[in-house]
Amino acid sequence: MTARKTVRHVLSVAIRIDDHFIGEPIGDELDVRFDTFLLPTQVRGGSRRRHEDGTYRFIDLEDGPHQLEVDSTDDRWMMLAPLPTIVAPLAQPSPPLAIEAWPTPLQSTPLGMTSVRGKLVGTPAATIARRIEFDVDTVDSGHHTQSSSLAEFLFLFPGRLELDADNLVPLSLRVIGGGVTGGEIVDGENHTPFSGAAFRVVPGRETRVRFHVT
């Protein structure tokens, strides 16, 4: 009778992709790999590679440097920060290495969350691939994103927000490298104009806004 050999695999690193705004693992499965062709392990009994805790687990990586690559096949997520190169073996392969991803304009706003779905209007140089920041009242939100090739963006405001006397959220847009001269809040056929970078939105819902940028 032939004895069975047990093969033990060693965890090299676990990668977790978090939503930049919410700070929690992204529920969508992304294409996460090292060096173009090194894929994470599949979940036992299935074909998915994202585990229930949001991690992508790599085993038995060869010693040496490995470049992380992350892609969203449906273009609903984007990477704005440079992705790291890890050097195997890691002294501590767990806890997981957390990487941030940003929702693109193709993503939906989570139910009950305040958000701005924006469109920058101006020259391509002033509106495309621009860093987007917001103040809530007069305080930096602590988040940022980037406008798309169509000069669009989605910006989420998680958590409790300060409201003004009218129970609205006062916001002010910053487009890094450009100036905001005004805009209009778009609600169906209704357009409510405003001057400058400051405007107000209803909390707990998505607001569509066109911004004029120079």
Q: Where are the domains of the chain?
A: 11-103, 114-213
Q: Are 155 and 206 contacting, i.e. CB atoms less than 8 angstroms apart?
A: no
pLDDT, average across residues 88-104: 92
Q: What does the alpha-carbon distance between residue 70 and residue 78 come to, in Å, rounded to a whole number?
A: 9
The model carries a pTM of: 0.92
String of DSSP letters for 29-75: --EEEETTTBPPPPPTTSS--S-TTSEEEEESPPSEEEEEEEE-TTS
Q: Which CATH architecture has domain 114-213?
A: Sandwich (2.60)
Residue 3 has pLDDT above 70, yes or no: no
What confidence tens digit (pLDDT) does each residue in 8-47 have? 568 999 999 999 999 999 999 999 999 999 999 999 888 8
Mean pLDDT, the chain, integer:
94
CATH code of 11-103, in short, is 2.60.40.1120
Residue 205 has pLDDT above 60, yes or no: yes
pLDDT band with cut points at 50, 70 and 90 for residue 4: low
Six-digit token pair at 118?
Answer: 């924006």
Six-digit token pair at 191?
Answer: 């357009």
Q: Which of 56-60, 93-97, 198-202 has the lowest mean pLDDT?
A: 93-97
Q: Which of 66-80, 88-102, 176-190, 199-213 has the lowest mean pLDDT?
A: 88-102
What confidence tens digit (pLDDT) does each residue in 60-88 have? 999 999 999 999 999 999 999 999 999 99
Q: What does the alpha-carbon distance between residue 181 and residue 175 come to, in Å, rounded to a whole number?
A: 11
